[in-house]
Structure 1
Amino acid sequence: MSQERSDEELLAAFQQGDVGAFEALLRRHRAPLFTFLLRMLGDRERAEDLAQETFLRIVKGAAAWEQRARFSTWLYTIARNLCVDQSRRDRFRRTGSLDETGPEGESPLVDSVPGYEAPPDRAAESSRLRVVLQEALLSLPAEQREVFVLREQAGVPFKEIAEMVGCNENTAKSRMRYALEGLRKALLAAGIDEELAQEEPSTGVRMGRA
């Protein structure tokens, strides 16, 4: 069995014209990226729109990409910046679509990739936990929420988070600690045991230590 190609190898192949490599990246990252955006925005429709816009920018910027950082860091930097832009606008205006034809009149790049479908609720308790966690996340200051979601949802190292958000690494870790404290208080106030939150995979976060 051949070894699965890394994100960076797939993007390099896409730069050489391998559309299937981009489709593989899309399948690999679409669901976690959507969850990241949903955690940041608290709005499913906007999260779907910005996920599409993020991948559109990946397509447009792929030719100039150089491997100075992980592909996932580039992906989430774009998504994070779109979230910042979104927060500054009174309403969202869609600016592009992955359904557009590619360069030189090629077919849409993602015609063969099915659209994202959020996973169904597993149980009422799990659903309530997700709702409480989302409300708690949205109640955090934006700078704490983005560090928490980048670290726990996207798995970005603190050093790269600091570069993405424009602070030093110690500040990023400090924001993470404050975010964890705020979330734990919110879960406790809602009568949800922290261990349950850690064990429930559908939340998409680990509630670990900074």
Structure 2
Amino acid sequence: MDKTDTDCINAYLGGDANALEPMVEKYKRPLYSFILKMTEGREDADEIFQETWFRALKNIHKFQHKNFLNWLFRIAHNLVIDRARRNKKNVSMQSSMGGEDGDNTLEDHLAAPGISPAEEAGGAGLGEQIDEAVKELSPDQKEVFMLRMYGNTSFKEIAQIQKCSINTCLARMQYALTKLRSILKEEYDELQEAMS
């Protein structure tokens, strides 16, 4: 019989240092995917992912939420916001690197983001188009979309993470979907044609 999150947490608090391993495995992919989509690249995502788990372990005795993954999302959200405030200096991904790299851009030097859940579900090409379209969303809309679609987080929980009303979250999701429909209209029309 599988242990519940509460069983794992209680065992960890009781002294079993390895008790949280099943939870780390269970939540690794959705948490990392969320962080990767909300940050500027793998290096940021790796650091925030590790810091999220570090803070979760440090404060596990305070955990009182019903949903552990949403608690992790909230910690990661706060870390992403903190990092964005510290790194206000933005560099364009298309800026020339200069020097020995000549005309190469910063974007040319970033590691590939890997396969996202959207790419697995809908094919690499469509997944890449969706990822590119999501980049066009405002930060708040992007976060609501990511939490809802990739984290299966309720709007009530998203509202708590974003510290706003549920209606505001619903509006942000609606704006995000409207913008994505507009950006991906051609792909959607092609998909509808192929299915008929």
Q: What TM-score comes out, normalization by structure 2 length?
A: 0.74
Change in 2 beyond 3 A, CA 1:194/1:58: farther
Which residue does 2:95 correspond to in 1?
none
Match of 1:37 among 31, 35, 38: 35
Match of 1:75 among 72, 75, 78: 72
Match of 2:136 among 110, 122, 139: 139
8 Å CA contact 2:31, 2:69 repeated in 1: no
- Higher relative contact order by CA 8 Å / sep ≥ 6: 1 or 2? 1
**What residue ranges of structure 2 are gaps of 5+ in the alignment?**
89-112, 192-196
Whether 1:167 and 2:164 are equivalent positions in the alignment is yes
Code of the aligned partner of 1:52? Q
Deviations 1:150-191 (A, max 9, x none): 111111111111111111111111111111111121212xx3
Deviations 1:85-127 (A, max 9, x none): 1222228xxxxxxxxxxxxxxxxxxxxxxxxx9559989x822
Runs of 4+ residues deviating >3 angstroms: 117-123
Structure with the bigger percentage of helix:
2
Which one has a bigger Cα radius of gyration? Answer: 2
Q: Partners of 1:119 and 1:17 in 2: how far apart?
A: 37
Q: What TM-score comes out, normalization by structure 1 length?
A: 0.70
Change in 2 beyond 3 A, CA 1:32/1:194: farther
> How far apart are 1:195 and its partner, in Å?
8.9
**What residue ranges of structure 1 are gaps of 5+ in the alignment?**
92-116, 197-210
* Within-5 A mapping of 1:2-21: 2=1, 4-21=2-19
Q: Partners of 2:55 and 2:48 in 1: how far apart?
A: 10
Which residue does 1:26 correspond to in 2?
24
> How far apart are 1:5 and its partner, in Å?
1.8
CA RMSD of aligned residues (A): 2.8
Q: Partners of 1:79 and 1:195 in 2: how far apart?
A: 36
> How far apart are 1:19 and its partner, in Å?
2.2
